[in-house]
Structure 1
Amino acid sequence: MLVLVILGAGYFLKKEHSAKVQVLKARALNLLELLSLEMLQEVTDFQSWNQEKQLSYSHVLSTDRFLVFGPTDPIVAVLGRDTMLSCTLSPAMSAENMELRWYRSKFSEAVFIYQNQREQKEGQMPEYSGRTSLVKDFLTWGEAAVRIDKVRISDNGQYTCLFGKGRFYERATLEIKVAGVGSAPEMRIEGPEEDGVRVACTASGWFPKPQVQWRDLSGEKFLAFSEAHAQDSDGLYRVESSLVVRDSSAGNVTCSILNPILGQEKAKAIFIPDWRKAVYQAAWRKAQLYADWRKEQFQSCE
């Protein structure tokens, strides 16, 4: 009887485990189906475009073949200014009668489309409408560039340029690194902190996340006591950093905000008078003595 009970319990445990495995498998299959559908849609968009070309041309001449090259290094674009995405054909040949397309991570996310020797608005992403144009100065030599006006943070990231001639096409990838310099730092003395003087530094409107550096009058760096970053609704960074100055010889303290992409910084210095250091240090010692006194009183009452 005991053996039957044990066998029955084992059967139900095995059945329950099998049910859980089936649920996990079903979830995994659903996830794979969603991913596959998204990838399939992207492939379908590109294949539809490619099939249209194949219907129009029955063969590809060897003279129609080419390569497309873009910049090997990221394109640094300053917020609010214009930038260009340039691609070049090799060997050099005219691109006037080619189909040109610049797009983001997906073929359907068109930034700019040039077809039949004119710009095509249909299929262009709304955020690039009226903000992009084709630079045709060197189009006959095989170089084409799209100008993006008034760069935004959303322009940051990867792009692809595609050149098509008949059935043949080639593409190259490019990257834009958006950077912006924000406000100069604002500094203030906050008060006593750990037997020293606490100094705060704030700045806003930077992109990407800026770096904060503290220095004394001789240029020696200090380690920040605290540092916090936050992004506003436009994606720009605000930074707040603080430093505790304990060295009585450090009269001037400088806070600098650095953009790591542009290498540009804005700095501001603040002077901490000796009398203020002495007052804060005395206040800190009194606070410590009071805390110690309170601790002794509390312990004596136990």
Structure 2
Amino acid sequence: MSTNTLPVGNLGEDELLSCYLYTQSAQATLQQVSVTWEKKGLTGLVYKYKNGAPDLGDQNSQFKVRTQLFPDAVVTGNASLLLRTVRSSDEGEYTCSISSSDAGGKVNIHLRTAAFSAPTFKFSNGILAAEASRWLPKPNVTWSGPDGNILQGNTNFTQNSAGIFSVVSTLQSVNVSVSDTYTYRIENNLVTAISKATITGSAVPGNTYFTYSAASSLLASTYLSMMTSVLCIYHLT
């Protein structure tokens, strides 16, 4: 079973690539479980776990000190790989292979990379402003009012030396009323962030959730605090 083979890693942040083997046996031990993570086109391995310990002699230098499994979880068939500080070069197709004394399986995972952040809101002199500090690829911005109608905003983009965009967008006073709730949508081809912002004063609380593009145009949704994909490996009988 696989619920998401197209995770989106946020550049500069950690990403968990989840991989599970479900067995009917509760007798598996760390020594009986082996795990290999590979990346298509890569010389060497991403990570290998064998005989109850990491086996990193063939690990590619790109992943040194940036990857780990969780030994306490491996014994239960959880081969999830933590990838630290995601880079654009990490994008690509990964294969997770896991086996124990009585079961095994593998799954292909295509990791995509982007930069995305939740916006912060301010209200001053009749102007509602939203600032999102990290977006790549360059996003589009849409404002809508309490009744769902599209509002005309003013959006500016600033690109840093790494190519990542800072996005500042404003609504003028003609479109803004105190105590009303406005929807701010910022999106590119990989990630969409939708925020609900209610004007209660100069500090404007905003509730943001993300959706990530997936195969067949389906969306896998997650709240801001949930950055973990869930993947599974089938049980072989």
TM-score, length-scaled by structure 2: 0.53
| Corresponding residue of 1:220 | 149
Q: Give 1:120's match in structure 2, choosing from 41, 44, 55.
A: 55
Give the Cα–Cα distance (whole angstroms) in 2 for the partners of residues 255 and 141 of structure 1: 43
1:258 aligns with 2:183: no
Q: Which residue of 2 aligns with 1:211?
A: 140
Identical-residue share of aligned pairs (%)? 26
Equivalents in 2 of 1:219, 1:135: separation in Å? Answer: 46
Report the CA distance shift for 1:139/1:241 in structure 2 as closer, same or farther (over 3 A). closer
Contact conserved, 2:36 with 2:98, CA < 8 A, in 1? yes
Name whichever structure is richer in helix by fraction.
1
Partner of 2:117: 181
Does the 8 Å contact 2:14/2:84 carry over to 1?
A: yes
Unaligned runs of 5+ in 2: 124-128, 200-237
Deviation, 1:177, is 4.9
Shift in CA distance, 268/106, structure 1 to aligned 2, threshold 3 Å: farther
Q: State the AA in 2 paired with 1:258.
A: I
| Aligned: 1:105 with 2:29 | no
Q: 1:114 is matched by which residue type in structure 2?
A: Y
> Deviation of residue 120 (structure 1)?
2.6
8 A contact 1:78–1:180 mirrored in 2: yes
- Structure (1 or 2) with the larger CA radius of gyration: 1
Counterparts in 2 of 1:134 and 1:202: CA distance versus 1, 3 Å: closer
Q: How many residues align?
A: 186
For 1:180, the aligned partner's letter is: F
Question: Partner letter of residue 193 of structure 2?
Answer: G
1 or 2, which has the higher strand percentage?
2
User: Does the C-alpha gap of structure 1 residues 107 and 215 become closer, same or farther in structure 2, counting only changes over 3 Å?
Assistant: closer
Q: 1:181 deviation in Å?
A: 0.3
C-alpha distance in structure 2 between counterparts of 1:210 and 1:266, whole Å = 18
C-alpha distance in 2 between matches for 1:250 and 1:214 = 14
**Higher RCO (CA 8 Å, separation ≥ 6 residues):** 2
Which of the residues 71, 75, 78 maps onto 1:140?
A: 75
> How far does the alpha carbon of each residue in 1:249-276 deviate from its partner, in whole angstroms, 9 at most, with x for none?
935397935256363448799xxxxxxx
Name the Cα RMSD after superposition: 4.6
- Post-superposition shift, 1:78? 4.7
What's the secondary structure of 2:21's corresponding residue? Answer: strand
Instruction: Note if contact 1:70-1:88 (Cα within 8 Å) is conserved in structure 2.
Output: no
SS at match of 1:142: coil
